[in-house]
Structure formats: structure tokens, C-alpha cells
Amino acid sequence: MSEEVIVLCSGGFDTVVLLHSLKLEEKDVVAVFFDYGQVNAKKEKECSEKVCEKLGFKLMQITLPDFYWSKSTLRSGEIREDRDQYVEMRNLVFLSYAVSIAETFGIKDIYMAVLKSGLGFTDTSESFITGFNTFVNQFGITLHTPFSDMQKEELGFLARMFDISREDFFSCNTPTINDDVMVPCNKCGDCQNIEYIYTEIVEDNTPIKAWLKSEASEKFNKLFRENTIGELRALINNECQFKCSHCFYGFDEMTGVELTIDEFCSAMSDFIACGISNIHFSGKEPFFNTDIFLYCNYLKEKHPQITYDVVTNGVNVLKYGEEIKNAGFNKIYLSVDSLYDLTIRPTNNHIIEVLNFLKDNNMTTQVFLDAHKNNYREIDSMITTLNKEFGVKEFHVRPVMPIGGGKELDTILNAEELDELFQNLCKLTGEFLIEFSLRNPWTKEYLDGGYALTEALEMIKATGYNYVEDNIVVLPEFYCGRFESQVTLTPDGYVLGCGTEVASKNYAKLSVGNVKDTPVKDLISAGKEMSLKYISKGLMCGCPHTSYKIKY
């Protein structure tokens, strides 16, 4: 049987999350609630009783004299600023009782829900906590503040994991009374924080959140249909300087006739009318010629509210340097396999000069690192070099997939190797962000257990939070995301729901149609319904060409 611990319990959001966290750690909790004349004491007490009954914890209720000498307006509910909430040394008073209880019953650990944002108050400051522990440690007692390095928003992901509803706590210090019922004011800082947390983090208001809670539910289907597609992946040509062995393009010749520049611009406008807010220029190589700058000028003139970026192998970046500087790109995505050695993309002859050009011109850059057997043990050192020497702060690491031109490669990473790469990335430190992409079937493999990534995926499923480290975000594929948030327009006008559908030479058959003869809004609607059919069959990925197996 676990030893008892004491928790200072206010019935508010922070302490309710703390109590659930301690339940997860299998702690035997004695929660202590204080009534000191605060205006919301009744509601706080009700919530404290409710959570303790739910979690099977003991609850002690202590009534204190009114803090009549305090300058705080907390007792009257007339708070104007956060500082008005401060009741002078209230926590010291509470902790004195807690230490007395602990010493009486031989309890060694006391917990308090102090947040990073609350460390400005005297009795929640770091010096207060350190000094308090210096005193009580000599009696074998320790005060724990497990949330002291976290903001309230971060607790939202725990609230989602523990399925804590808005009715499970009361965190408003300026409540109103409606029909003799005390309710939050919905105006104060605490209420605004809670509204943000539940709207943006806890509640199932996006397809992925609904999926993680209940998979292919009706709510998921509804949100998937209604979800606005935010990005158009615009493939503006079928030309490249290289023919890389790992390239996922599965065709040399296009099915149809390329759209004219005017037709392509018209199509972009139609997508923008349907909600597209960013255009990601690609192709086999968008800087193969100067056509891309015509598209940039069109967007600047006709749709100045739209952001756009470009992914490139970098070969012509220096050639078109002035045009690139004036094009208005939001970000440059640069594909890199190696800085110094030729691997599967022969770009190292120019990559250093390109990186220096982007750095010297302060252009926001994200480096795409395609991982395979020849380089996966070097990617962590490449990131360190790119960050320190070239100032790159954004990276996207993705495994080369055995699709398109890479079907027969013998350098595809197996699950163990990709997991090793992930562990190496987690050891890195620095001011940069790493996106770690997991496509089907790696996600399924790791969900089955036995890997470092398994724990990360389980946490993502529980909380909906993709950050597994401060600077590493894992992007797993839990279901077929065709037409969820991104669509692809091929040079000949076909609309695809997933960028990797161009890995099939039959991409036109995988398409929902062509912009030359079908309105874009109808294509998007048809695409969403097609995806939901795949998802209803339990498929992570419904496209025929991505039903591949990893080679072990």
C-alpha cells in the first residue's frame, strides 16, 4: 500500500489536475480544503468533495478565521487585476496546517499546485518554496510543486488526458449569481484562460482530437467534413535536374496536358475561395525555371492575404537569388541528405553556398532531412551543424518511403532503425524545432509496443499534444488524412488528397477529378467523402500505392 501524501486542495482547475496526476501515480491522497471566507468557498468545497469522491481520496475541511486585515479584494469578489487576488502569506498559513497534519500522522510529502506564472506572488515564489523546504526537511517532510515549471495552458493537455470537464472545478474569483446559483463570470483572467484551454486544447473540436478520443465517431465524421482545408500543395512542373533513386514521383510523363499559367492561377484562386490560406509550391523542382515567380506575383497582386512557401533541392537558388529575395516567400524548405558526402541526392556540391545565401539574407528556412540507412546515424550531428553554423532553426525529419521511384531501394529504415534515430534526436539540445514524421505503417508498428516511440505515441493519443520534448514534435499518421487539411494540384490539373499519391503513375485514377472540368468545391467535397470511406474500413491510409510493407 502506498504512503499517504497531503495535497492543498482549492477545488480549482490546477489542483483538480494535480489530484488526477497523483491518482495516476497511485498516491494515497489526503486533500485539505480551507474555507477562509472567500466569496466562492461553497463552489470550491463542492468541487473538492466531488473530485475526492471520484478519485477515492480523503478530504479534510478546515475553517479559518476571516483574513479581515488583508488588502486583497479576493474576499469581496471585486478583483480588478491579478495582483488583487493575493492574500498575504495565505499559503504559509495553509502549509502550517498541512505540516501539523503531516507531523501528526507521519506523512512525509505535501503537494501544492504552483504554476510558473504564479511564482511572482511572495508565497509561491521559488525562494519561498526553497526556504520552506529548508525548514521542514529537517523533520523529514518535503513540499512538492510539480507544476512550477509549467504554464496553465500546459495543464490543459493533462486535463484532456484525465477527461476533466469544466464542471469538475471552479476557478473564478469574481463569480456571479444566477437564480441562487454561483457561476463563473467569464470575464476575468482565470475564466479567459479556462476558455482558451478548453476551446483550443481539451474539447473535441478538430478531427484529430475527436479521433483520439473515440476514433471514427459521428463527431469525427462531422468535423472531418467541416474542416477547412488550409494548404494547397501546388505542383507547378514535372521537371527536375536530378532523377534521385528515392524520389516518390512514380511517373516520368504526365497523364494530361499541363495547365497554362493562366489556368493554374485561376485554379489557385478557386482554392483560395474555398478557404486555402497557404500555398506550398512544389513540383519535381519548382526553381527549375522562372515560372514560379509569375505565380508569386499573381498572388501578391490578387491575393495579398495568402502566404506561400516553396520546397527546393537548392540547385538554382543562387541563380535566381534576386528573384527569390523579392518573391515574398514565407519560408524556404530546403531538401538536404548530406552536407559533405554524396548519398542518394547529389546536392552537396552547392548546398553549403545555398545555406550561406539563405542565412545572409535572413530567409526563414526549414531543412527537410530524408532518413535512410546511409545517413540516419548522422542526422543528429547534421542538425547540430546546420543550427550552429548556418542558423537553421526548423527541421523536418522523415523516413524515405518505398514508394514511387524508391520501391526497390534496400536502404529503407526498418522500425528499429527509425526508433534509434528518434532516440538520438531526443538527446539533442539547442534553440531549434524538429518535426519527426511517422507515416503508415510505422505508426501502426510503434502503436503495437516495444519501442521508445510507443510511449510518445501513447501520450499523443491521450493528450492530443504532439510535443514529446521541448523542441521535438512527432507527426504520426493515425488515419487516412486525405482531404483533411491539405490538397495537391498536379501540373496537369488533377486534384489529389495526399501528396504521396503522385507516387503512382496512375495518379489520375486516384484523383477525384480535374479542375479543367469540375468546380474545386465539388472536388474537395467528393474527396472528403472518399477519405471517410477509407477511414470507416479502419485504414490508416487508403491509397493503393501506399499499402506497402517495410522490409525487415
Tell me: the pLDDT tens digits for 408-432? 677 888 889 999 999 999 999 989 9
Tell me: the pLDDT tens digits for 138-165? 999 999 999 999 999 999 999 999 999 9
pLDDT at 75 over 60: no
Whole-angstrom CA distances from 426 to 97, 133, 434, 515 are: 42, 32, 10, 43
pLDDT at 534 over 90: no
Sequence spans of domains, the chain:
4-205, 229-546
Highest mean pLDDT among 180-189, 250-259, 475-484, 487-496: 487-496
* Interacting residues of 538 by C-beta distance below 8 A, sequence separation 6+: 216
Q: Over 463-506, what HEC string results?
A: HCCCEEECCEEEEECCCCCCCCCEEEECCCCEEECCHHHHHCCC
* Interacting residues of 178 by C-beta distance below 8 A, sequence separation 6+: none
Per-residue model confidence (pLDDT) at position 278 = 98
Per-residue model confidence (pLDDT) at position 245 = 65
Residue type, 466: N
The residues pairing with 62 across neighbouring beta strands, listed in sequence order, are 34
Q: DSSP character for 199? A: I
Tell me: the pLDDT tens digits for 477-517? 888 889 999 999 999 999 999 888 887 888 898 899 999 99
pLDDT at 13 over 50: yes
The reply to whether domains 4-205 and 229-546 share a CATH topology is no
Average pLDDT over residues 253-263: 94
pLDDT band at 73 (very low <50, low <70, confident <90, very high): low
Cell of 193: 484562460
End-to-end CA distance of the chain: 45
Of residues 169 and 402, more confidence is placed in: 169
- Architecture of the domain whose range is 4-205: 3-Layer(aba) Sandwich (3.40)
* Interacting residues of 541 by C-beta distance below 8 A, sequence separation 6+: 439, 440, 477, 480, 498, 534, 547
pLDDT at 32 over 50: yes
Question: What percent of the chain is predicted at pLDDT more than 90?
Answer: 66
pLDDT band at 549 (very low <50, low <70, confident <90, very high): very low
Give 72-93 as a DSSP string. -STTTT---SGGGGPPTTHHHH
**Local structure of 392: helix, strand or coil:** coil
Rounded Cα distance between 419 and 372, Å, is: 12
Per-residue model confidence (pLDDT) at position 72 = 63
Tell me: the pLDDT tens digits for 436-474? 998 776 788 888 888 999 999 999 999 999 999 889 999
Please say whether the beta carbons of 133 and 164 come within 8 A: no
Of residues 342 and 241, more confidence is placed in: 241
Phi first, then psi: give them for residue 30, nearest 5 degrees.
-110, 105
Strands annotated E in 189-328: 231-235, 278-282, 307-312
Rounded Cα distance between 227 and 423, Å, is: 34
pLDDT band at 541 (very low <50, low <70, confident <90, very high): low
Task: Show the CA angle centred on residue 268, arms to residues 263 and 272, nearest 5°.
Answer: 145
Class of residue 369 by CB neighbours under 10 A (exposed 0-12, middle 13-18, buried 19+)? buried
Per-residue model confidence (pLDDT) at position 239 = 85
Prediction pTM value: 0.85
Of residues 65 and 418, more confidence is placed in: 418
Rounded Cα distance between 40 and 176, Å, is: 10
Cβ atoms within 10 A of the Cβ of 304, count?
8
Picking from 244, 548, 547, the residue whose alpha carbon sits closest to that of residue 405 is: 244
Per-residue model confidence (pLDDT) at position 174 = 83
Per-residue model confidence (pLDDT) at position 176 = 86
Q: Over 96-133, what HEC string results?
A: HHHHHHHHHHCCCEEECCCCHHHCCCHHHCHHHHHHHH
pLDDT band at 550 (very low <50, low <70, confident <90, very high): very low
* Interacting residues of 395 by C-beta distance below 8 A, sequence separation 6+: 366, 367, 369, 383, 386, 432, 433, 434, 435
Of residues 271 and 344, more confidence is placed in: 271
Average pLDDT over residues 526-532: 93
Phi first, then psi: give them for residue 168, nearest 5 degrees.
-85, -5
pLDDT at 78 over 90: no
Per-residue model confidence (pLDDT) at position 552 = 22
Least confident residue range of 116-120, 251-255, 314-318: 116-120
Rounded Cα distance between 147 and 33, Å, is: 19
pLDDT at 70 over 90: no
Question: How far from chain centre, in Å, is Cα 527?
Answer: 25
Rounded Cα distance between 527 and 511, Å, is: 8
Rounded Cα distance between 288 and 244, Å, is: 15
* Interacting residues of 474 by C-beta distance below 8 A, sequence separation 6+: 422, 436, 438, 453, 456, 457, 460, 466, 468
pLDDT band at 341 (very low <50, low <70, confident <90, very high): low
pLDDT at 86 over 80: no
Per-residue model confidence (pLDDT) at position 502 = 82
pLDDT at 34 over 70: yes
Per-residue model confidence (pLDDT) at position 363 = 96
Per-residue model confidence (pLDDT) at position 241 = 76
Cell of 38: 472567500
Least confident residue range of 27-31, 93-97, 446-450: 446-450
Cell of 520: 474545386
Place of cell 483550443: 200
State which CATH number among 3.30.230.10, 3.30.450.20, 2.40.50.140, 3.20.20.70 fits the domain covering 229-546.
3.20.20.70
Per-residue model confidence (pLDDT) at position 196 = 95
Instruction: Report the length, in residues, of the chain.
Output: 552
CA atoms within 13 Å, Cβ hemisphere of 368? 17
Least confident residue range of 73-87, 268-282, 390-404: 73-87
